[in-house]
Amino acid sequence: MSRHPLEEHFAECFVNSSVTPEQLHHIRQCLKCREELQQFEGMIALLRDTVRTGVDERLCERPSQLGRPAPAVRRLEHTPGLVWKWALAAAVVVSIGMLPLVFQSWQGRQGRRPASPGLNSDQDAAALMESINIHVSRDLPAPMEPLMLVVRQVQPKQ
Amino acid sequence: MKPTATTEFIPTGKVKPISEIENIESLVERYRTRVFRFIFASIRDLDTAETLTQDCFWKAHQHRSSFRGDCSVHTWLLRIAINLVRDHVRTKRFQFWKKAELVPSHELVNWPDCGISPEEQSDISDQVNTIWKASGSLSERQRTVFILRYIEDLEIHEIAESTGLSESSVNVHLVRAVRNIRRRLGATK
């Protein structure tokens, strides 16, 4: 009886599973082993009492709604989580699908940019006015040309 | 001549307790505490435990016709509860962003003033808390078996019926659970 079986087989002895008669005999006789088992047993009993008392108290605080199962309401209670999951998954799929389109349109915008990106808006406006002026100064006299001819024809007679 | 109707004694344990299952209110009243306690001890979240307890009774009511009466109603309800807890744990693995507020054992109960000193109370509370935490870190099957045996006080054959395991398997899981808890206790001492 020099070796205590609890040192190696505590769990087996506590559960009372696959314990040899010799080990059982030792535990019955040995004060140290008995105390050790009783101490652990006491802790487990404390846990049991704690959980039981605690749960009883909680259940008294929360009146039961269990007697009235309402399937429609219950289904609604269950859906928000599911809807959110599906919505999130759908959003991810859609955004992944949109990526090529967004990339394409961005590339297109890059391609349509003017060749001289150094010009600012004032310079653009000035260049535009200049081209208009050139156009107007060249085009406006054209309709007046016949009138000028008449004027020239009239002038020598005076 | 063969008798047309049996007049033999039928053991009550094997008779399908139809009325007990049919009447949902009495079923809930009778088993609510035990089912809730098991689920709560398994997942340690009061709100989820309440929801799963509801689910358990709802499923029992839905599938009452499938109850063959080969086990007690309590065992049958526990079997449903075990499956619900297992499903919940598996689903929760994929919901890592959700954090449930788990109940520590010292919040579970206010120790009654029964003549023990605050130091003793604190010591007891620490011990219980350590076992509570240690049992929480067990594998799902070990925890289930441990709770059914030491919190629900079920016999090995009842645990075997509830979990669908053989009695020797239950014993093996129980031994491993106790060994792991003791290891944890040793580590904290």
pLDDT at A76: 43
For the cut 80, the answer to whether the pLDDT of residue A148 exceeds it is: no
Question: Residues near A67 by Cβ (< 8 Å), separated by ≥ 6?
Answer: B24, B25, B28, B29
* B135 neighbourhood in chain A, CB within 8 Å: 47
Looking up tokens 């620490």 gives: B126
* B57 neighbourhood in chain A, CB within 8 Å: 66, 69
Sign of CA dihedral A54, A57, A59, A61: negative
Backbone φ, ψ for residue B3 (5° rounding): -70, 140
Q: What percent of chain B has pLDDT over 90?
A: 31
Residue of B89 and A4 predicted with greater confidence: B89
- pLDDT tens digits, A38-77: 888 888 888 888 888 888 877 777 665 554 444 444 444 4
pLDDT at B93: 64
Question: At CA A35, angle to CA A11 and CA B116, rounded to 5?
Answer: 110
Taking the model in full, what pTM does it have?
0.62
Smallest CA-to-CA distance from A47 within B100, B181, B187, B186 is with B181
Whether residues B108 and A54 touch (CB distance < 8 A) is answered with yes
Q: Is B29 on the interface with A (CB under 8 A)?
A: yes
> Which two structure tokens, joined as six digits, stand for B48?
């989820």
pLDDT at A120: 65
- 3-state secondary structure (DSSP) of residue B4: coil
Contact assessment for residue B72 and residue B13, using Cβ atoms and an 8 Å cutoff: yes
Q: How many residue contacts between A and B have a Cβ separation below 8 Å?
A: 91
Whole-number Å distance between alpha carbons of B174 and A75: 37
pLDDT at A34: 84
pLDDT at A114: 57
Whether residues B108 and A51 touch (CB distance < 8 A) is answered with yes
* B40 neighbourhood in chain A, CB within 8 Å: 51, 55, 58
pLDDT at B79: 93
Give the model's confidence band at B4: pLDDT under 50 very low, under 70 low, under 90 confident, else very high: very low
**Mutate: best of A36, A38, A55, A82, partner B, most B CBs <10 A:** A55
Amino acid at B38: F
Whether residues B128 and A18 touch (CB distance < 8 A) is answered with no
**Mutate: best of B24, B29, B34, B37, partner A, most A CBs <10 A:** B37
- pLDDT tens digits, B35-51: 999 999 998 888 888 89
Closest residue, chain B, to A15 (C-alpha): B175
* B108 neighbourhood in chain A, CB within 8 Å: 50-51, 53-55
For the cut 60, the answer to whether the pLDDT of residue B30 exceeds it is: yes
How would DSSP label each residue in B63-119? TGGG--SSS-HHHHHHHHHHHHHHHHHHHHHT-TT----PPPHHHH-PPP-SS--HH
Contact assessment for residue B181 and residue B79, using Cβ atoms and an 8 Å cutoff: no
Whole-number Å distance between alpha carbons of A19 and A39: 19
For the cut 60, the answer to whether the pLDDT of residue A5 exceeds it is: yes
* B185 neighbourhood in chain A, CB within 8 Å: 43
Q: Is A63 on the interface with B (CB under 8 A)?
A: no
- pLDDT tens digits, B55-98: 999 999 888 888 877 788 899 999 999 999 999 988 876 655 55
- pLDDT tens digits, B115-173: 567 777 777 778 788 888 888 888 989 999 999 999 999 999 999 999 999 999 999 99
Sign of CA dihedral A9, A15, A18, A21: positive
Smallest CA-to-CA distance from B182 within A33, A24, A36 is with A36
Of A24-38, A142-156, B16-30, the one with minimum mean pLDDT is: A142-156
Looking up tokens 């010799």 gives: A22
Interface of B with A in 87-106 (CB under 8 A): 105
Question: Residues near A37 by Cβ (< 8 Å), separated by ≥ 6?
Answer: A6, A10, A13, A14, A27
* A17 neighbourhood in chain B, CB within 8 Å: 171-172, 174-175
Whether residues A17 and B175 touch (CB distance < 8 A) is answered with yes
> Which two structure tokens, joined as six digits, stand for B87?
């499903």
Q: Is A85 on the interface with B (CB under 8 A)?
A: no
Whole-number Å distance between alpha carbons of B149 and A16: 12
pLDDT at A67: 47
- pLDDT tens digits, A89-112: 999 999 998 888 888 888 877 776
Residue of B108 and A63 predicted with greater confidence: A63
Amino acid at B60: A
Neighbours of B35 (CB within 10 A): 27
Contact assessment for residue A10 and residue A38, using Cβ atoms and an 8 Å cutoff: no
Whole-number Å distance between alpha carbons of A9 and A19: 8
